[in-house]
């Protein structure tokens, strides 16, 4: 896959697909359909692991479905991603999830984004440095599946103007539009 196509897919996910999933998840929450909302927010988290709205919405969907541990885990991740936004929106949560214990949690829990069809060695999660609490997996913050793919992506270099002009944007958007949203 060329660098231009990879960039177009990333932009498409961030600008079109993820906001659409978030809107559909919010609409399902308003319609009291927690299972549908959870599926939409999980898809948004898979495509944009560092999206505060996706994690916060997923926490609300887990809470509505009675999945207390999963809701707290997503709230810790959301708080870690955007502490000030979390403080603002914390009051909108159900009472059991507004407690001080959640606010005192120092780091996000182990979080590995589910990816379709993992590839051999690059699917192994990266390990953070050993701390006094043990070894923790890093929170995924990009679209790469591992260190090897991240290194290949960085080695590609910048997109040249002629590469951007050569992309058939209509064909690419039609190809991306076929993906299940």
Is 50 exposed, middle or buried (CB count within 10 Å of its CB: 0-12, 13-18, 19+)?
middle
> What is the distance between the alpha carbons of residues 58 and 51, in angstroms, rounded to a whole number?
11
pTM, entire model:
0.55
Domain spans of the chain?
A: 3-109+126-176
For residue 45, the SS3 value is helix
* 37-80 tens-digit pLDDT: 999 999 999 888 889 999 999 999 999 998 988 988 999 899 89
- Predicted local distance difference test score (pLDDT) of residue 102: 56
Match 């990879």 to its residue by tokens. Answer: 6
Kindly report, residue by residue over 71-123, the tens digit of the pLDDT: 889 998 998 998 889 888 888 888 777 764 555 454 554 444 444 444 444 44
Cα dihedral: 136, 143, 18, 162 (round 10): 160
The CATH code belonging to domain 3-109+126-176 is 1.25.40
- Of the two residues 94 and 22, the one the predictor is more confident about is 22
Q: Which residue has the tokens 């214990």?
A: 101
CB-CB contact of 167 with 4 (8 Å): yes
| Region of 117 on the Ramachandran plot (φ > 0 left; ψ -120 to 50 alpha; else beta) | left
Phi/psi at 28 (5° precision): -65, -40
């Amino acid at each position: 896959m060329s660098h231009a196509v990879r960039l177009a897919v990333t932009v498409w996910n961030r600008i079109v697909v993820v906001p659409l999933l978030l809107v559909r998840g919010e609409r399902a929450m308003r319609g009291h359909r927690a299972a549908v909302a959870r599926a939409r927010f999980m898809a948004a988290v898979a495509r944009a692991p560092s999206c505060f709205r996706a994690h916060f919405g997923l926490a609300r969907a887990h809470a509505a479905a009675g999945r207390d541990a999963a809701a707290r885990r997503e709230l810790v991740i959301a708080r870690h991603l955007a502490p000030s936004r979390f403080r603002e929106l914390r009051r909108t949560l159900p009472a059991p999830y507004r407690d001080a214990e959640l606010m005192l949690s120092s780091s996000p829990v182990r979080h590995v984004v589910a990816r379709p069809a993992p590839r051999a060695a690059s699917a192994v999660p990266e390990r953070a440095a050993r701390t006094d609490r043990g070894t923790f997996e890093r929170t995924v913050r990009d679209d790469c599946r591992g260190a090897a793919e991240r290194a290949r992506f960085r080695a590609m270099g910048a997109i040249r103007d002629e590469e951007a002009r050569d992309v058939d944007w209509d064909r690419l958007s039609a190809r991306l539009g076929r993906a299940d949203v």
